[in-house]
Structure 1
Amino acid sequence: MAGGTFTWETWKRMFNSRVFALPLLHGDNMYIIGGCDQMGKPITAFEMYETKKRKWHNLPEMPTARASPAAAILGDKIIVIGGVGEGQNPVNAVEMYNIKAKKWEKMEPLSEALLGLSSVVRDNKIIVCGGMGSDTNPKDTLCAYDVETNTWKQMKGMPTARYATYSFLVNEKLYVCGGRQGKLPNTALECYDFTEDKWEKLPDVPSKRVFAMYTASDKHIFSMGGLKQPATEGFSDACEVFDTEKKEWKIGASMPTKRADFAIGVLGGKVVCAGGLGGPGKPLETVEVYDWEHDNWTKIKDMPTTHCSCAYILKDDKLAVIGGLSTTGPSSCTEALNFRPDR
């Protein structure tokens, strides 16, 4: 892996402080959807950060208040699916924001209200996985939304019903990792082959944790940190690496800081873990990077402010970290970690 330097930059604050928001990229602009306010209530707030002008814009609010939805951008359309609504109940609403027309439109809803969805985009369709229904039961749902026809297509369900999973497209296959069944963590790792319309059960995630964080490279899936089970055992320093070619897990060097619910991404050929919740249950500003080729960790400069339960997204050579919970409550702070390769 090439060397380089990591530096933080502070962006302007959002208009709305929030946790559990969802970020999306469209060209040079970053959109932030929904989330929860300081009272824990889902909100309809919808903002855009114009990176070239370094300016936030308040946009028309979503018709449905929600936190942690599934969402994607297809062309000039932002599609928002399900999520946590009023009273912490799942919602079935599917809504589309037309970037050019600057307005929302209600679309064909989910067949049932679901929260804890994960999604990927493939062949101009949004593939939605899992979820928890109003009956609190986990689902094995796999379905595809076609924005052009405004229709849903049910696909072959996952072998393991669960919600709050992480989903990745790696070499045109869908990998669904972890998640929960009720309040208990699930360690399933399953792979869907679109060509063969077939699921494959892969070796389970090695350790059971809730609020573990996942990210992927073009060959590996990384499972980091979390809260051990039972929770009295505290936060985890787990570092687990799945090789999608060898189909096996490797236990990596332990994270230097035990934590859960942090920002994560592959930046500069390394896994960045930023912020999160650590002992004794406080938001962190600690940042560490994992070099999986050499199986070692390096501590880099702390974040400018503390963040957990935050929105985060990779843009070019940056990991943007947006809002979340700080030591003083829900935050509107926005910061970006830059990677500059050595010349």
Structure 2
Amino acid sequence: MAVPSAHEFHWQSLSRLASGRVYHSLCEVGGQMYMLGGCDAVGRPSPALELYSPEGDRWMTLPQMPTPRAGAAVAVLGKQILVVGGVGEDQSPLKVVEMFNTEEGKWRKRSTLREALMGVSITVKDGRALAVGGMGADLLPRSILQQYDLRKDVWALLPPMPTARYDANTHLLANKLYVAGGRQCKRPVKAFEVFDAETRSWTTLPSMPCKRSYGGVLWDVNGRLCLLGGLRQGGHQSSKFTKNVNIFDTSQGCWLKSEETVAMKTKRADFASAFLRGRMVVAGGLGHEPSALDTVEAFHPQKKKWERLSPMNSPRCSTSSIVIRDRLLVVGGVNQVPSSAHEILYVKEEEYL
């Protein structure tokens, strides 16, 4: 498959947010982007729900969430958006679950979690939401795996993960739910495990090669897990920015040797990352510069090298991002203070607006 060349990628600034926002959640329903919650400049969780309509490049304010929250886990079930856990106004984890019907424009309260959790990872399988791990009010990680049935409005417990954690990365491949990394009491974990939905059992996979946090985590179309950059921790050393790339091949069940991977050009953490038109793309984040980065690079699979793309219009880290119709939208984040920037990366041959 031919991939676009570096000069074909183009950034465009879109209609800004009403105010700076960070730790908000994004999802897509019907080709449109919904933005939920987040924190404002003074760290207050927001109840906001906004819809970005690309046709008119405008934001529409929708009915607010009943519960203000930041860092919520979000799952799309048909035309409904399920919002799970996160951090509430008192800065504590939430057990409240709410659902927005995009056709009716209404919120409904749903069955709560068994306990308040933040840092839950959520995936959808066969119309049901699978919620993995999280951190409780006692600041300890959980190993819980729970499944939400929309029709019954019930959370069912499935066999727990071998390793308790929060902020893990989850990916569904056929009947298998992969859970990579995450944190325990602010420390990154190397655990990599897979849940087989048919046998309802967990298998421990070879651990991630290094402890890292705030890196990029991507899955390619061939079922390979790609870990990019981040903050690396080892022994008693302090955290260090890295440009390392590690790749796990699920068909072989092993991590590729280091000589089979290509490091990024720039050491960075807390950046936006995505697969876009067959290329791994990383944008912004933090590095060894004193301020947030605007640099962008993309991996060319045939040339086997990272190439610089045009920089972002607004340097920032801690963004929320989503790919919709082969375009990467990067929303909010931080550049010393929460940012209201909103921009899109697309291939120039297809004018976006």
Instruction: Settle same-fold status: TM greater than 0.5.
Output: yes
Alpha-carbon shift at residue 69 of structure 1 (Å): 0.9
Could you tell me which residue of structure 2 aligns to residue 255 of structure 1? 264
Could you tell me which residue of structure 2 aligns to residue 51 of structure 1? 54
Show CA shifts across 1:164-205 (max 9, x none): 101011233211110011021101111111111111111111
Show CA shifts across 1:137-158 (max 9, x none): 1111111111221110111111
CA contact (8 A) 2:26 2:322 kept: yes
Equivalent residue of 2:238, what SS?
A: helix
1:34 to 27, 34, 37: 37
| 1:103 equivalenced with 2:106 (yes/no) | yes
CA contact (8 A) 2:3 2:279 kept: no
Equivalent residue of 1:86, what SS?
A: coil
| 1:3 equivalenced with 2:3 (yes/no) | yes
| 1:302 equivalenced with 2:311 (yes/no) | yes
TM-align CA RMSD: 1.7
- The amino acid of 2:255's aligned partner reads W
Length-normalised TM-score, structure 2 = 0.92
Deviates more, 1:98-107 or 1:284-293: 284-293
| 1:63 equivalenced with 2:71 (yes/no) | no
Equivalent residue of 1:71, what SS?
A: strand
Supply the distance in 2 between the matched residues of 1:213 and 1:125 (Cα, whole angstroms). Answer: 26
1:276 to 277, 285, 288: 285
CA contact (8 A) 2:134 2:141 kept: yes
Could you tell me which residue of structure 2 aligns to residue 224 of structure 1? 228
| 1:112 equivalenced with 2:119 (yes/no) | no
- The amino acid of 2:296's aligned partner reads V
CA contact (8 A) 2:217 2:225 kept: yes
CA contact (8 A) 1:206 1:240 kept: yes
Could you tell me which residue of structure 1 aligns to residue 213 of structure 2? 210
1:163 to 159, 163, 166: 166
> Which runs of no fewer than 5 residues in structure 2 stay unpaired?
none
| 1:321 equivalenced with 2:324 (yes/no) | no
Supply the distance in 2 between the matched residues of 1:150 and 1:178 (Cα, whole angstroms). Answer: 30
CA contact (8 A) 1:28 1:52 kept: no
CA contact (8 A) 1:145 1:152 kept: yes
> Which runs of no fewer than 5 residues in structure 1 stay unpaired?
none
Length-normalised TM-score, structure 1 = 0.95
Supply the distance in 2 between the matched residues of 1:40 and 1:258 (Cα, whole angstroms). Answer: 28
Supply the distance in 1 between the matched residues of 2:348 and 2:114 (Cα, whole angstroms). Answer: 46
Alpha-carbon shift at residue 49 of structure 1 (Å): 0.3
Alpha-carbon shift at residue 282 of structure 1 (Å): 2.4
Correspondence list, 1:89-168, <5 A: 89-168=92-171
- The amino acid of 2:31's aligned partner reads D
CA contact (8 A) 2:272 2:330 kept: yes
Alpha-carbon shift at residue 232 of structure 1 (Å): 3.0
Distance change >3 Å, CA 103–CA 16, structure 1 → 2? farther
Could you tell me which residue of structure 1 aligns to residue 338 of structure 2? 330
Equivalent residue of 1:137, what SS?
A: coil
Equivalent residue of 1:8, what SS?
A: strand
- The amino acid of 2:229's aligned partner reads G
Give the fraction of aligned pairs with identical amino acids, expressed as a percent.
40
Show CA shifts across 1:298-322 (max 9, x none): 1111011112111100111101100
Supply the distance in 2 between the matched residues of 1:192 and 1:221 (Cα, whole angstroms). Answer: 16
| 1:287 equivalenced with 2:296 (yes/no) | yes
Correspondence list, 1:166-177, <5 A: 166-177=169-180
Alpha-carbon shift at residue 225 of structure 1 (Å): 1.2
Supply the distance in 2 between the matched residues of 1:75 and 1:241 (Cα, whole angstroms). Answer: 32
- The amino acid of 1:227's aligned partner reads L
Alpha-carbon shift at residue 55 of structure 1 (Å): 1.3
CA contact (8 A) 1:3 1:341 kept: no
How many equivalent pairs are there?
341
| 1:244 equivalenced with 2:250 (yes/no) | yes
